[in-house]
A = this chain, B = another copy of it.
Amino acid sequence: MDLKLRNPDFEAVVRENYSRQYFMLHISAELGKFAPGFCTLHLKSRPELSQQNGFMHGGAVAALADVASGLAAFTLFEAGADILTVELKINYLAPAAGEEIIARGEVVKSGRTLTVVRSEVFAVADGVKTLCAAGMGSLMTRR
């Protein structure tokens, strides 16, 4: 895995990018730990994020996986580059039940144009983490 760091200021640009992801702020998702090729996000359960059975909505799960993937890729981008999600696939494995979900994106391949990221979303119930979704997607560097 070639995880070449192209921007020593990645931390600042990731935080700045996230601060403009208004949809994430709107649903109160929070940026967690991140490092080159890696990012986590947290989202606390709230009634307005639920689906018909009271679990966290799949759309919220997918959105969190999408952004965790994007930011994981973005950590490795050169300064000034923008990011675009090309595609994302998610398999739902278990209901997102509990007090919060944590999405984790991890770069599998960092190319000049395309970055491929694996994502996992865990539901945390009474402190116990259950893998509830697993994804893989491609992101594109725009210079």
Task: Spell out A's residues near B (CB within 8 Å).
Answer: 1, 17, 20-27, 47-53, 57-60, 62-64, 66-67, 70, 82, 84-94, 108-109, 113-114, 116, 118, 131, 134-136, 138, 140
Are the CB atoms of B113 and A134 closer together than 8 Å? no
Name A's interface SS: mixed
Given A22-B49, A52-B17, A138-B138, verify A85-B114 contact (CB < 8 Å). no
Among B1, B23, B91, contact of A49 (Cβ-Cβ < 8 Å): B23
CB distance from A45 to the nearest CB of B (A): 11
CB distance from A122 to the nearest CB of B (A): 12
CB distance from A125 to the nearest CB of B (A): 16
A57 to B17, CA, bound (A): 13
Interface pairs (11), CB distance under 8 Å: A20-B52, A22-B50, A22-B51, A23-B60, A53-B82, A58-B63, A58-B70, A87-B138, A89-B136, A114-B140, A136-B136
Are the CB atoms of A59 and B23 closer together than 8 Å? yes
Given A17-B52, A23-B50, A59-B23, verify A91-B86 contact (CB < 8 Å). yes
